[in-house]
Structure 1
Amino acid sequence: MSSTRARLGRTLWRPIMALCLAISAGLAFAQEPIALSGTLKKAKETGALTIGYRESSLPFSYLNQIRRPIGYSIEICKAIVQTAGNEVGRELAINWVPVTSETRMEAMTSGKIDLECGSTTRNAERQQRVSFSPVIFVAGTKLLVPHGSPIRTFRDLKGKTVVATAGTTNADAIERLSTRFNLGITLIRARDHADAFEVLRHGGADAYAGDDVLLYGFLAKYGLGKKYDVTRDFLSYDPYGIMLRKDDPQFATVVDKAVRDLITTGELERLYKQWFVDRLPTGERLGIPMSSQLEDIIASTPQQPD
């Protein structure tokens, strides 16, 4: 009887052991690290990521008194670098490379930079060439004009000269409006935001078309709130994102996780207050409350799965 039970026990035990071995093998396979590729592989090998920054996109990305990049977008990119470091298992340094509105796309697609941390609109046309993080800000094109100017809406631009930064959606918006409504606008394309503002300040244009938050930033920086006005109507809506290379799914996942973590933990709201409401490290105070559009994005962002 005991011999029969022993044979029966061995008969039952063998498939159980086989199942356990199969499960163990599966767990071991599942726990094997996934081979790194693209930007993360490079980061692991070099110990660094390269950030493209803007010199005059206050308060997103600009230079402080000692010429170091600071700003809202810069802080978000630092969080991305930290998350990437956790992913590759080593602390990552940051290499800083200045870019402009005109050079940022080429710098990204050619591999000169890994992240572009400025005030870049996340739209369908650009997403054919590059990828973006989740939305971090919502802006819109408005006009900056000298105080007392008769320009109040885009229709007042007929026959006028407008300056905008080359390579921006602002310049595109002015061109579309000029063509659609036969306004005959003369468009000057400046190298960067600071250059565009200087054209307006020195009388080279009747209006400066730029993202509203950047226009308010210039007025705060130079204390010119009484000398210039920002028009009321939006000429376009522009959601901002952190730019990264296209077709790099591993790094895109890291960027997405880092930004979503900032949103769901409340850190993005704290950063917003620091850079848009409170006094800036360089002394300016913008006092711009969060838009309802960005509030909606934050409220609708799901928690990251564990």
Structure 2
Amino acid sequence: MLRVTFLLTGIGWGVVWLLTHTAVAQTANEGLSPALAGIKQAKVVKIGYRESSPPFSFLDQTGRPIGYSLELCKAVVEDIAVEVDDPALRIDYVKVTADDRIQAVVDGKVDLECGSTTANLERRKRVAFSPMIFVAGTKLMVPKTTTGTAPADFKGKTVVVTKGTTNEQAMHAVDAKFGLGLNFVVSPDHEASYQILAGGKADAFATDDVLLSGLIARHKSQDRFRVVGDYLSYDPYGIMFRKGDPQLAAVVERAFRRLGSNRDLIPLYNKWFVARLPTGERMGISISPQLEESFKALDDSAGGTN
């Protein structure tokens, strides 16, 4: 009889603890959206990174994720920490690819995707985006001995593209429009695409011009390859996060306005695109007037003056 009473008492205390713990958690998360409540409970922000998208998101010599997009995401994490009232939030880095990055955001595997992702209307049906962080477009990387630069010059040639990119779609559209009869090779990531071209298994590699320049710089292959042609697509980049979460969207927007009002965005840009990278390469890409105007608009919206 005493044993039964003891067990019941133990169960009772367990129920009390569970109810109390649940009530405390609910109180702590009160007023937070599902995404932010999940971050607060886990005490972690999951950041999706790319391994070979320099200078946006790539690995340094020690295998640590670094890059322009990742620094922007760290600034967003600072504002998330304020929103959830937890200055001790930590970051977990989650590797994503061009092909699985959008689904990773949709499924909640990452809270912020910090790579080189084009914010277009089709993708906005599934995910949300930060203010613009860069403007790029599809061009071709070719061996320096190649004389052609226009799409028509590559009729019947083999072009490598990275799976799940807007560049893959752009090249199929160009192929259909001009009847080029291109042969496509599809690879899982930009580094693999580069290696296919470098190995002589393709005549050109099509992706965003800045990523092509980054790969050439990283491989120190300026004497082997060059980026050619007119833009074949328009690709404004943004940080991806969960769609349908106005509170999280407001936090992301606030972080970018803070960076704009503090005049941090252009120095951050110059750190990754003009100065020498931590891995030793130099991109040497000055900020475009369009992106500079976008940054200025963030400053103006925060009440800044020029």
**Matched residue SS, 2:161:** strand
Number of the residue aligned with 1:303: 301
Structure 1 CA distance for aligned equivalents of residues 258 and 237 of structure 2: 17
Q: 2:82 aligns with which of 64, 86, 93?
A: 86
Q: Which of the residues 168, 177, 181 maps onto 1:180? A: 177
Alpha-carbon distance between aligned partners in 1 of 2:242 and 2:66, rounded to the nearest angstrom: 22
Runs of 4+ aligned structure 1 residues displaced above 2 Å come to 299-306
1:231 is matched with which residue: 211, 228, 232? 228
Partner of 2:194: 197
User: Take 1:235 and 1:260, find their aligned partners in 2: how far apart are those partners?
Assistant: 31
DSSP 3-state at the match of 1:42: helix
Equivalent pairs counted in the alignment come to 274
Q: Distance in 1 between matches of 2:160 and 2:206?
A: 6
- 286, 291, 295: which is aligned to 2:283? 286
Cα distance in 1 between the residues matched to 2:257 and 2:173: 34
Normalised by the length of structure 1, the TM-score is 0.87
For residue 108 of structure 1, the aligned residue among 101, 105, 110 is: 105
SS at match of 1:188: strand
Contact 1:38 1:251 (C-alpha < 8 Å) held by counterparts = no
1:44 matched to 2:40: yes
Distance in 1 of aligned mates of 2:189 and 2:260: 30
One-letter amino acid of the counterpart of residue 64, structure 2:
R
CA spacing shift, 1:195–1:179, aligned 2, 3 Å: same
Cα pair 2:47 2:110 within 8 Å, conserved: yes
> TM-score, normalised to structure 2's length?
0.87
- Paired letter, 1:237: Y
Measure, in 2, the Cα distance between the counterparts of 1:264 and 1:124.
28
Per-residue Cα deviation, 1:121-152 (whole angstroms, up to 9, x for no partner): 00000000100000011111110000121221
Larger Rg: 1
User: Deviation string for 1:25-44 (max 9, x for gaps)?
Assistant: xxxxxxxx961112111111
Asked if 1:138 is matched to 2:143, the reply is no
1:55 pairs with one of 12, 27, 51: 51
Q: Is residue 267 from structure 1 mapped to residue 228 from structure 2 by the alignment?
A: no
Q: What displacement does 1:62 show?
A: 0.4
Tell me which moved more, 85-94 or 291-300: 291-300
Question: Structure 1, residues 3-45: CA drift from partner, whole Å, max 9, x if none?
Answer: xxxxxxxxxxxxxxxxxxxxxxxxxxxxxx9611121111111
**Identity over aligned pairs, percent:** 50
Gaps of 5+ in 2: 1-28
Deviation at 1:304, TM superposition (A): 2.6
Question: Aligned partners of 2:41 and 2:244: how far apart in 1?
Answer: 20
What is the CA–CA distance in structure 1 between the aligned matches of 2:121 and 2:258, rounded to whole Å?
24
Name the Cα RMSD after superposition. Answer: 1.4
> Do 2:260 and 2:302's aligned partners in 1 also have CA atoms closer than 8 Å?
no
SS in 2 for 1:107: helix
